[in-house]
């Protein structure tokens, strides 16, 4: 049966993740900085466990963890290591509980680093920052037991083939714990599914198929073909394939289709996915309400 996934946050369930800014941290001394982020890290992990408990009760078995779970971890002026934090033991223990809980209850965890992670960039500084951020995500993935770190290829810079070559070359710089989790997703502006197939085969990494992006940026592949390519690409990993779905905020005739709607129109959910054993992340503004509604809307079709 289809496994639907929630992305990052809740709309109504009172689980909240906390943040801070580099500007705020720089105003206080180092010991106070470390105390502050320590508390935020621990609070975020405790909230993550509560999130997973709520998901289990509602039979939602996939969750995308938001990137800044450890706030400002890789900022050049505020960076820290877990060992420096006053509550590092409790933090590691809280992460262990999350890892155990998600494994025992078969809840898949994934990470989706932000848009400024660009392995295809011709700018050395951008790639360096990307590697640094991805290594942080690898550490986080190890700690909480996340299977997947999913990113986009990034920019084209006027020459897609060269950009893809740079992506592949920079991929080799990453640690095993990042490479073994990395996946690439088609985007809505530059890289369609067919642009990614050779890259995925060469690097032996899975393709995450976002059908909404494919509808915004179509190519020669049908949705059926892109679905099959996604399924095939995941054979190099043990986990089930990942798909993304969303609906356009203003409809398909209402101008720019890219902004996401509060809920998923069930007609936007591909029929060909109904009987697949895969994970579909629900990218919708109404968050858990949208996942629950989509399950209800599809229940007669996906059993």
For 230, the enclosing helix (H) or strand (E) is: helix 223-233
Q: Does 99 bind DNA (CB under 7 A)?
A: no
Q: How far apart are CA 128 and CA 218, in angstroms?
A: 32
Q: Does 289 bind DNA (CB under 7 A)?
A: no
Q: Does 30 bind DNA (CB under 7 A)?
A: no
User: Given the complex with DNA, which of 66 and 302 has the nearer CB atom?
Assistant: 66
**Distance of alpha carbon 126 from its chain centroid, rounded?**
20
Binding mask 172-211 for DNA (x = CB under 7 A): ----------------xxx-------------------x-
User: Given the complex with DNA, which of 40 and 298 has the nearer CB atom?
Assistant: 40
User: Given the complex with DNA, which of 107 and 286 has the nearer CB atom?
Assistant: 286
Instruction: Please report the beta strands in the chain, taking only residues with DSSP state E, as ranges in sequence order.
Output: 3-7, 62-65, 108-111, 148-152, 182-185, 207-210, 242-245, 279-282
Q: How many residues bind DNA (CB under 7 A)?
A: 51
User: Given the complex with DNA, which of 218 and 277 has the nearer CB atom?
Assistant: 218
Q: Which of 82, 92, 156, 292 binds DNA (CB under 7 A)?
A: 156
CB 121 within 8 A of CB 82: no
**At a CB cut-off of 8 Å and minimum separation 6, what does 182 contact?**
134, 149, 150, 151, 171, 174, 205
CB 233 within 8 A of CB 203: no
Q: How far apart are CA 3 and CA 61, in angstroms?
A: 6
**At a CB cut-off of 8 Å and minimum separation 6, what does 288 contact?**
6, 10, 11, 12, 13, 54, 58, 60
Q: Does 162 bind DNA (CB under 7 A)?
A: no
Q: Which of 3, 112, 181, 214 binds DNA (CB under 7 A)?
A: 112
User: Given the complex with DNA, which of 74 and 165 has the nearer CB atom?
Assistant: 74
Task: List binders of DNA among 73-92 (CB under 7 A).
Answer: 73-76
Q: Does 59 bind DNA (CB under 7 A)?
A: no
User: Given the complex with DNA, which of 63 and 96 has the nearer CB atom?
Assistant: 63
CB 220 within 8 A of CB 232: no
Task: List binders of DNA among 253-282 (CB under 7 A).
Answer: 256, 258-260
Q: Does 7 bind DNA (CB under 7 A)?
A: yes
CB 39: neighbour CB atoms within 10 A?
Answer: 15
The site for DNA (CB under 7 A) is made up of 7-9, 11, 16-24, 27, 64, 66-68, 72-76, 112, 114-116, 118, 121-123, 125-126, 129, 133, 152, 154-157, 188-190, 210, 244, 256, 258-260, 283, 285
């Amino acid at each position: 049966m289809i496994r639907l996934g929630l992305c990052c946050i809740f709309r109504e369930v009172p689980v909240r993740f906390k943040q801070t800014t580099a500007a705020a941290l720089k105003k206080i001394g180092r010991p106070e900085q470390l105390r502050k982020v320590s508390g935020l890290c621990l609070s975020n992990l405790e909230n993550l466990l509560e999130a997973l408990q709520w998901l289990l009760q509602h039979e939602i078995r996939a969750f995308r963890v938001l990137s800044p779970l450890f706030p400002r971890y890789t900022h050049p002026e505020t960076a820290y290591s877990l060992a420096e934090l006053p509550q590092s033991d409790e933090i590691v223990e809280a992460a262990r509980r999350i890892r155990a809980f998600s494994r025992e209850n078969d809840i898949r965890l994934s990470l989706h680093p932000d848009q400024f992670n660009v392995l295809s960039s011709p700018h050395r500084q951008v790639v360096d920052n990307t590697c640094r951020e991805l290594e942080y995500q690898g550490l986080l993935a190890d700690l909480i037991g996340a299977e997947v770190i999913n990113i986009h290829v990034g920019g084209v810079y006027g020459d897609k083939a060269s950009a893809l070559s740079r992506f592949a070359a920079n991929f080799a710089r990453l640690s095993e714990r990042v490479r073994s989790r990395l996946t690439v997703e088609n985007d809505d502006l530059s890289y369609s599914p067919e642009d990614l197939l050779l890259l995925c085969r060469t690097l032996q990494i899975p393709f995450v198929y976002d059908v909404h992006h494919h509808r915004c940026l179509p190519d020669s592949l049908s949705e059926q073909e892109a679905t099959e390519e996604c399924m095939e690409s995941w054979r190099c990993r043990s986990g089930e394939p990942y798909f993304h779905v969303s609906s356009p905020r203003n409809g398909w005739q209402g101008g720019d289709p890219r902004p996401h709607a509060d809920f998923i129109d069930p007609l936007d959910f591909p029929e060909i996915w109904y009987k697949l054993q895969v994970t579909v992340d629900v990218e919708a503004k109404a968050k858990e309400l949208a996942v629950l509604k989509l399950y209800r809307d599809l229940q007669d079709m996906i059993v």
